[in-house]
């Protein structure tokens, strides 16, 4: 089967699992709050449960070595995203939503790690590395889709329950369409230890950077719709911000995938995306429509590009442990994301708003970018944007 078809299926898998299974809570929060099912503090705890599930799923995915284990987690994660979203139709109140969001967190992490591990080597082997990079635009278009569906639901005066049902139906159609075309694990997954090269110190900073990134972006990503709803007093214009966030994220991946490669390009681009997101988080503190629009552009544009760049940097530093590193990095990312909503809940409880949490989130992104200032010199690199198989030698 054509690699292009399998990469397209991978793109749609991430579009569904992340856009619907993972981030559907964000456009639903204004509905759940207005319906009295939860308050803002409870919303932070529900989001934290989603990210705790994401952490559990990522850690579990690290130990999937045999082809059957990889395939079970990929298919199980995709089906769970649909079924748990459907079950949300009947959910009412804090505990039911918390349990279901935990489950979708586990499922979406399985899909992300397995699709990353399967699609990127497939793209490189086919000589189409840029298409492999564009797979990471899938979550952005998934967010765009869920945002448009939320906008239509609001204009039609529908409840959150109806919107869960719509999300589940769209997810099911997408899943049935890609099932025959998903990439297949060809052999036992590499169990190579993380320290497979002399560049272990450079790899060692990436989990910290990715964890700070998870903390930094997740508060605006989780509460953007609610902040916009408060600013526009529940009017339909507030629902434009979330699909625009997803569209900006997808465009950001396309732009980064077109970059020209040199030994320090990935590090420099990663620094830029982290600091742009920090500026976007601080823009949200302005408390105006202009501030939120800047937040959409500056947080949304680099959002998925940053994820792509971190995974690329990981492959540059340790090209023989793709799945293991993807699982480790996703787990660290989930820890940062888990900290974000908990921080938001504390901020809401003690200050009545998200401003202190946003300050901490933006500061975390600044620190993450600063950790990349000290370069790791890489003599020869396996680069997803070049597509040439190389041998890695790196030193401080």
The residues that bridge with 378 in the sheet, in sequence order, are 394
Residue 16 confidence (pLDDT): 95
> Tell me, what DSSP letter sits at residue 185?
-
Mean pLDDT across the stretch 246-250? 92
Q: For 45-92, what is each residue's pLDDT tens digit?
A: 898 898 899 889 988 988 887 889 999 999 999 999 999 999 999 998
Mean pLDDT across the stretch 377-387? 41
Quick one: CA torsion of 85, 87, 89, 92, rounded to 10 degrees? -110
Angle at 340 between CA 339 and CA 344, to 5 degrees: 115
Residue 382 confidence (pLDDT): 38
Q: Note whether 301 and 381 are within 8 A (CB).
A: no
3-state helix, strand, coil in the chain (%, to 5): 80, 0, 20
Nearest to 20 by CA among 70, 84, 72, 75: 84
Q: What is the pTM of this model?
A: 0.81
Tell me which residue has tokens 């949304």. Answer: 300
> How much of the chain, in percent, has pLDDT values that exceed 90?
38
Rounded to the nearest integer, the mean pLDDT of the chain is 83
More confident residue, 237 or 379: 237
């Amino acid at each position: 089967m054509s690699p292009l078809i399998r990469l397209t299926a991978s793109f749609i898998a991430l579009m569904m699992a992340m856009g619907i299974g993972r981030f559907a809570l964000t456009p639903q929060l204004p509905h759940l709050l207005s319906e009295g099912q939860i308050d803002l503090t409870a919303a932070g705890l529900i989001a934290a449960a989603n990210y705790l599930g994401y952490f559990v799923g990522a850690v579990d995915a690290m130990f999937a070595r045999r082809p059957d284990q990889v395939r079970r987690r990929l298919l199980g994660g995709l089906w769970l995203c649909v079924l748990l979203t459907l079950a949300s139709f009947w959910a009412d109140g804090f505990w039911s939503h918390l349990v279901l969001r935990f489950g979708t967190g586990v499922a979406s992490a399985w899909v992300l790690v397995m699709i990353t591990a399967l699609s990127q080597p497939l793209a490189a082997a086919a000589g189409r590395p840029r298409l492999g990079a564009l797979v990471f635009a899938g979550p952005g278009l998934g967010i765009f889709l869920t945002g448009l569906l939320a906008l239509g639901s609001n204009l039609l005066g529908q409840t959150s329950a109806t919107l869960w049902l719509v999300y589940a139906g769209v997810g099911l159609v997408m899943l049935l369409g890609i099932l025959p075309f998903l990439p297949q694990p060809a052999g036992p997954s590499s169990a190579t230890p993380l320290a497979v090269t002399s560049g272990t110190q450079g790899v060692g900073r990436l989990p910290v950077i990715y964890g700070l990134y998870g903390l930094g972006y997740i508060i605006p990503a989780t509460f953007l719709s609610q902040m916009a709803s408060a600013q526009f007093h529940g009017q339909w214009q507030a629902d434009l911000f979330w699909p625009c966030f997803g569209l900006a994220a997808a465009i950001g991946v396309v732009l980064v995938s077109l970059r020209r490669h040199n030994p320090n390009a990935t590090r420099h681009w990663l620094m830029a995306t982290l600091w742009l997101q920090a500026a976007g988080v601080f823009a949200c503190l302005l408390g105006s429509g202009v501030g939120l629009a800047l937040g959409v552009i500056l947080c949304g544009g680099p959002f998925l590009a940053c994820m792509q760049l971190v995974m690329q940097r990981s492959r540059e530093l340790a090209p023989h442990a793709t799945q293991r590193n993807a699982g480790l990095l996703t787990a660290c990312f989930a820890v940062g994301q888990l900290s974000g909503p908990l921080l938001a809940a504390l901020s809401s409880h003690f200050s009545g708003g998200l401003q202190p949490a946003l300050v901490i989130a933006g500061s975390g992104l600044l620190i993450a970018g600063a950790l990349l200032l000290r370069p790791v010199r890489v003599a020869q690199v396996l680069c997803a944007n070049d597509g040439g198989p190389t041998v890695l030698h790196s030193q401080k």
